[in-house]
Structure 1
Amino acid sequence: MTAVHYGADAVYLGGKHYSLRAKAGNFNPEKMREGINYAHQHNVKVYVTVNILAHNDDLSGLPDYLRELHDMGADGVIISDPGVLMTAREAVPDLPIHLSTQANVTNAASAAFWLSQGALRLNLARELSMQEIADISKGVSGELEVFVHGALCISYSGRCMLSNYMTGRDANQGNCAHPCRYSYALVEEKRPGQYFPVDEDERGTYIFNSKDLCLLESLPQLIAAGADSLKIEGRMKSIFYVGGVVRVYRAALDYLAGLPKEAWEKPEEITLPQEFMEELLRTGTRGITENFIKERPGSSEMNYMTSRVIQTYEPIAVVRDLDNGLLVEIRNTLFPGTEVEYMKQGVGATKVRITTFRDEEGKTLEKANPGNRVFLTTEPALEDVEVLGILRRKIADDM
């Protein structure tokens, strides 16, 4: 709902089975049907992930599950396994198939193969340069999708066995324990309990921790290269992240759509307003990298010192109702007098100060805790507020 509110054209989600986010609060059939209906009411499509690398046992029940997705009205399924793709073509031949980035499409011949097997759209591998994306686009006639923002896996397009070896949780079955985000140290056999730092050129110990992908400033070239769809990694993320990132990319695409035709004669010279990137960085990241788009990444694309960079803003509340006042659901402890910002659709934010809040019975409160639903009064009064809009506050200076 947050992604839809802030401008997504489509959302992708996982069910209780066959998804690479097995530990997430995934959708049961009732909630998935509800989510699909909600998206369709707002002219937004829904693609369901069926993207595990399947073993024999996984195939039992798969045709029935695919038929259930079809009956719910899903607009497509995202698949990486050839056997799952073949099963989908047999069980639900008219349900569109999108190839997952897990399938590692890195060249035009591979793209042509998957399109010949029935895939409608290919989510290309994340290890491609801009020129390689353009070459694939020229070589095939199917739709191409490119990941533009979110967490990067240190392995090749997500095919990682580190979690399996270290924790017994198979990332390719949706159970990744994210050991790439751990801080590592060295222990000598005869000195248990004495930990020695693992350094790479004295930069720290998070030796697998990649910065987050961010291709915002490369959108003009991506569009010119032939990308039909831009994908934001957002599952298991907060609504603050989803809303904050989606609204910036929506605003960026709308800005680019408004440029005169002659501007696209040299897409490499098109630049976005600086406020777009400034706003995007306020959602919190591990630092940002363009990964392989311009050149092969090196040590500068890793975050060795910490699992994240300092977050400068945090969510305060989500608007839930407007019938009898500004009713919000609190996300972080809040006191009267706090200055907050209302995140509009687009990149704008309205600053106000909270003067009072009261509970749903009308009692004035001295503070509000996470989960509370309270009516806010602000100075000045907030205008043009919408249900699902997010309120945030500044907690550190911008980086």
Structure 2
Amino acid sequence: MKKVELLAPAGDLEKLKIAIMYGADAVYLAGEAFGMRTASKNFDEKQLKEGVEFAHKRNKKVYITLNIIPHNDDLDGLEEYVQYLVDIDVDAVIVSDPGIYSIVRSVSEDLEVHLSTQASVTNYKTVKFWEKMGIKRIVLARELSLDEIKRIKEEVPNMDLEVFVHGAMCISYSGRCLLSNYMTGRDANRGDCAQACRWKYHLVEEKRPGEYYPIEETDKGTFIYNSKDLCMIDSLDDLISSGVDSLKIEGRVKTQYYVATVIRSYRIAIDAYYNGNYTKELADYLLNEIKKSSHRDFTKGFFYNKPTAEDQLYTSSSYTRNYDFVGIVLDYDEETKIATIEQRNRIFKGDKLEVFGPEKDFYNFEIGTMINDEGKEVDVVPRAREIFKTKINFPVKPWYMLRKKL
């Protein structure tokens, strides 16, 4: 049986490495232009090459986003950029615009091309059209049900289908939004979304300027465009049986800790599904693990029913955060049981922490003696990315992460 792919976001080189170490089969990312997330750090040419080499050494894949909806000037330099992507052997590019697709094909007939969710594909006839054009994979619009996905797979069995299964939901149709551009001049369709859908809104009557009426009866205003986050960790059996080939996690501007936590959970769930061990108890455990990263309330999106008011957040756009990411393991000496850790948030002597890696279980321990990079014993490690050593009485490995309950 062909195993479904787990596709992870990579907003920078460190996130790429963490996503792969925590179980992603492939990552998607952008260079310094042509991608839909200018808010993430993204990759220069040297980092792109390093990222591809890191992934390929571990038999993982790298997909590059070229999925803006471009104006004329946005096309400048695209041919040279695509040629560079071919030269460093990326596995595929993701496009939404026929003009960009034509440029990619003028550079390479062999480079694999995926069609972005920005193209709003919602039916099998459109999938057949793009199949004839040479597209290898369709990233389906978010507005499809599982039954509609099944029908598409039945009608076009040789086309790879990719769906978003976790992360922020765009209030506009498949991400094609003009709200940010209208409000701030930042074009969401060219990668510079200001997330105006997450702002607080009141109602103003035309002849009563300055008089603001809450749309709901609350003095906090109303977040009328604000969706809950998508989460399908407890519905993977339905997703996989629908015929999809790739499960995509949203979050190129999220933290390394978020990437590790979410990818780890979906990796464990996918492997359990194919091993016959995917149970409600496991899904509930993994959902709780996901909730240890910053998150909003969750929704199933369009997979089962069209969203209702229950899938929106009308009172706040803030995240729920119950844990702090406080450190990442750089090295561990099994003989002395001394771990070398890079701090990510303040750590105090006596802190009770959890440590986890790509595996299912996590471990609890209490911080004892800490030795800073000057060889001095300290009671707190306050500086960002400060290196220190401490004893951990069970084996840990590089890339393991430390978190603290708030």
- Using the size of structure 1 for normalisation, the TM-score is 0.91
Which residue of 228, 246, 253 maps to 2:270?
253
Partner of 2:352: 339
C-alpha displacement at 1:83, in angstroms?
0.8
Per the alignment, do residues 301 and 382 of structure 1 end up closer, same or farther by CA in structure 2, a change over 3 Å counting? farther
Query: Do the aligned partners of 2:234 and 2:283 also contact (CA within 8 Å) in 1?
Result: no
Cα distance in 1 for partners of 2:376, 2:209 equals 57
Partner of 1:266: none
Query: Do the aligned partners of 1:102 and 1:157 also contact (CA within 8 Å) in 2?
Result: yes
Per the alignment, do residues 368 and 192 of structure 1 end up closer, same or farther by CA in structure 2, a change over 3 Å counting? farther
For structure 2, the 5+ residue unaligned runs are 1-16
Q: Secondary structure at the match of 1:147?
A: strand
Matched, 1:281 2:291: yes
C-alpha displacement at 1:23, in angstroms?
2.9
Query: Do the aligned partners of 2:92 and 2:114 also contact (CA within 8 Å) in 1?
Result: yes
C-alpha displacement at 1:376, in angstroms?
3.6
Cα distance in 1 for partners of 2:124, 2:205 equals 48
Decide which moves more: 200-209 or 309-318. 200-209
Per the alignment, do residues 119 and 203 of structure 1 end up closer, same or farther by CA in structure 2, a change over 3 Å counting? farther
Tell me the amino acid that sits aligned with residue 251 of structure 1: I
Per the alignment, do residues 372 and 64 of structure 1 end up closer, same or farther by CA in structure 2, a change over 3 Å counting? closer
Cα distance in 2 for partners of 1:119, 1:177 equals 31
Matched, 1:144 2:161: yes
Number of aligned pairs?
386
Q: Percent identity?
A: 44
Cα distance in 1 for partners of 2:237, 2:383 equals 40
Query: Do the aligned partners of 1:344 and 1:350 also contact (CA within 8 Å) in 2?
Result: no
For structure 1, the 5+ residue unaligned runs are 264-268
Give matches, 1:214-293, under 5 Å. Answer: 214-259=231-276, 272-293=282-303
Q: Secondary structure at the match of 1:146?
A: strand
Per the alignment, do residues 15 and 79 of structure 1 end up closer, same or farther by CA in structure 2, a change over 3 Å counting? same
Query: Do the aligned partners of 1:206 and 1:304 also contact (CA within 8 Å) in 2?
Result: yes
Partner of 1:315: 325
Decide which moves more: 218-227 or 321-330. 321-330
Partner of 1:387: 398
Per the alignment, do residues 370 and 155 of structure 1 end up closer, same or farther by CA in structure 2, a change over 3 Å counting? farther
Superposed CA deviations along residues 311-362 of structure 1, whole A, max 9, x for unmatched, are 1112111122336941222111111000000112133211000012121221
Decide which moves more: 337-346 or 181-190. 181-190
RMSD: 2.2
Partner of 1:120: 136
Partner of 1:176: 193
Query: Do the aligned partners of 2:234 and 2:284 also contact (CA within 8 Å) in 1?
Result: no
Cα distance in 2 for partners of 1:300, 1:200 equals 17
Matched, 1:37 2:50: no
Matched, 1:95 2:106: no
Tell me the amino acid that sits aligned with residue 51 of structure 2: G
C-alpha displacement at 1:204, in angstroms?
5.1
Query: Do the aligned partners of 2:233 and 2:283 also contact (CA within 8 Å) in 1?
Result: no
Tell me the amino acid that sits aligned with residue 63 of structure 2: Y
Matched, 1:70 2:70: no
Query: Do the aligned partners of 1:104 and 1:157 also contact (CA within 8 Å) in 2?
Result: yes
